[in-house]
């Protein structure tokens, strides 16, 4: 019997539907020689210090640092029933297919269970970045050997153990130091939490200590036989600050007086043809920033929404990735998916664009060509999902569609080359503008 181990029930239902495993069991779905079961995220957690030694129940400097010689995992209280189900299924299985999320944590969730249950059999990996039927079928046709993704498990272990060592030891140390100075309460320290808090505090101090300074901009309007244009004075370093802004009002006024109502000659003017690559699709961080800027959404709210679009609507690829690109021809995210992406995107945008040349993309910044990446770009999925996409999805989905459409219809910024020499101009006047001096906070 082949056992598929998923990360969550919704993921298991999607995979079992394609496998034909539709018979409901206790904590699993069964088919012909195939069973699909699931976790609820991490079923296991790292043991607390007192699980290693009763002496660690009391917080004291004498017991620090706490460094386990053999790490222990414990089953979470609310996950004991499902863990026992998986444990019994493993006894009957001939092989295991890890079908958790396609990232470090997904790999860790599955393998830590296999490790605790002392699984010694065959392990394979179903690498899924989208949960639509087409992507699942392609992934099933391209199942990876377990050894290929095993390093992700060790990366996950390293992350978890580093969090434990930093959190357990430094939280105890700082709390004890705090008590010596009259602080009553726990001073929590975390490997990620504390440096992030420090960034916020440092930025807050910069804002608090900010002192506004005045600077001056000189903008002149020039007239030519073909029309008018504005030009901005670029002050020399002797009268500029580190950002190139003029801080000497008299210097700016002198230049304004010298050029006011005077004739000048354009000795050289060039324009260039420039090619600007389209923006990459969103990764989770850039999606959170865009949603915060446009709708004031918090980071967790964006993640929850994106996760729902991935699991429920099958409208996004796996959102918990920092990579904005995808591999073509790697089982998922191939040309067929890109073609349906463009079709959905164009219908959403009220336009109709054709699919041309995407199979031969070679630009190294293209989201459709990155042979070494494990992450996949957020993109619209499958033409048959268009109706669901159009009807009532959260506004968060709009910038995703927009970014995919721009990437599809790769734009270029074109300018005509020409040299203008000895073209006489008249200065209509120069104005001196006082900057706000407040700077950006």
Catalogue the active-site residues: 318
The answer to whether residues 98 and 105 touch, using CB atoms and an 8 Å cutoff, is no
Residue 88 structure tokens: 């019994």
Residue 331 structure tokens: 């089982």
- Between strands 23-25 and 28-31, the pairing is antiparallel
The helix (H) or strand (E) run that includes residue 95 is strand 95-99
The answer to whether residues 6 and 37 touch, using CB atoms and an 8 Å cutoff, is yes
- Give the DSSP per-residue string, 98-128: EES-SSHHHHHHHHHHHHHTT--SEEEE---
The answer to whether residues 102 and 62 touch, using CB atoms and an 8 Å cutoff, is no
Q: At what angle do helices 284-295 and 397-408 cross, to 10 degrees?
A: 120
Q: How far is 1 from 97, CA to CA, in rounded Å?
A: 11
Give percent helix, percent strand, percent coil of the chain, each to the nearest 5.
40, 15, 40
Q: How far is 20 from 32, CA to CA, in rounded Å?
A: 8
Q: How far is 380 from 365, CA to CA, in rounded Å?
A: 19
Q: How far is 247 from 249, CA to CA, in rounded Å?
A: 6
Picking from 33, 233, 386, 311, the residue whose alpha carbon sits closest to that of residue 303 is 311
Q: How far is 280 from 361, CA to CA, in rounded Å?
A: 14
- Give the DSSP per-residue string, 209-238: T------EEEEEEEEETTEEEEEE----GG
Neighbours of 439 (CB within 10 A): 12
């Amino acid at each position: 019997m082949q056992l598929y181990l998923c990360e969550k029930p919704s993921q298991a239902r999607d995979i079992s539907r394609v496998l034909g495993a539709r018979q409901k069991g206790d904590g699993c779905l069964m088919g012909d020689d195939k069973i699909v079961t699931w976790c609820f995220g991490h079923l296991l957690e790292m043991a607390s210090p007192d699980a290693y030694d009763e002496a660690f129940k009391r917080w004291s400097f004498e017991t620090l640092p706490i460094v386990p010689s053999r790490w222990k995992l414990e089953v979470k209280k609310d996950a004991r029933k499902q863990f026992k189900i998986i444990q019994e299924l493993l006894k009957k299985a001939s092989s295991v297919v890890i079908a958790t999320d396609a990232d470090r944590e997904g790999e860790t969730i599955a393998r830590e269970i296999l490790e605790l249950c002392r699984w010694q059999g065959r392990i394979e990996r179903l690498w899924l970045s989208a949960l639509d039927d087409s992507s699942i079928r392609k992934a099933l046709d391209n199942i990876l050997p377990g050894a290929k993704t095993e390093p992700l498990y060790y990366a996950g272990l390293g992350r978890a153990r580093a969090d434990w060592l930093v959190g357990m030891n430094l939280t105890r140390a700082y709390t004890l130091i705090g008590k010596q100075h009259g602080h009553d309460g726990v001073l929590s320290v975390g490997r990620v939490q504390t440096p992030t808090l420090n960034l916020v505090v440092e930025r807050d101090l910069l804002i608090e200590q900010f002192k506004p300074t005045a600077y001056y901009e000189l903008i002149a309007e020039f007239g030519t036989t073909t029309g008018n244009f504005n030009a901005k004075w670029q002050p020399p370093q002797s009268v500029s600050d580190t950002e190139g802004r003029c801080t000497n009002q008299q210097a700016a006024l002198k230049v304004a007086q010298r050029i006011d109502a005077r004739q000048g000659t354009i000795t050289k003017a060039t324009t260039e043809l420039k090619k600007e690559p389209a923006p990459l699709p969103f990764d989770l961080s850039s999606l959170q920033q865009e949603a915060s800027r446009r709708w004031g959404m918090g980071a967790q709210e964006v993640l929850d929404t994106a996760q729902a679009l991935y699991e429920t609507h099958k409208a996004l690829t796996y959102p918990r990735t920092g990579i904005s690109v995808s591999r073509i021809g790697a089982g998922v995210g191939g040309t067929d998916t890109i073609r349906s992406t463009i079709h959905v995107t164009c219908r959403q945008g009220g336009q109709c664009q054709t699919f041309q040349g995407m199979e031969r993309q070679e630009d190294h910044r293209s989201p459709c060509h990155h042979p070494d990446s494990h992450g996949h770009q957020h993109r619209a999925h499958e033409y048959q999902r268009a109706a669901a996409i159009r009807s009532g999805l959260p506004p968060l989905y709009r910038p995703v569609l927009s970014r995919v459409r721009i990437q599809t219809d790769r734009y270029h910024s074109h300018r005509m080359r020409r040299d203008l020499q000895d073209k006489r101009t008249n200065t209509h006047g120069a104005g001196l503008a006082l900057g706000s001096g407040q700077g950006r906070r």
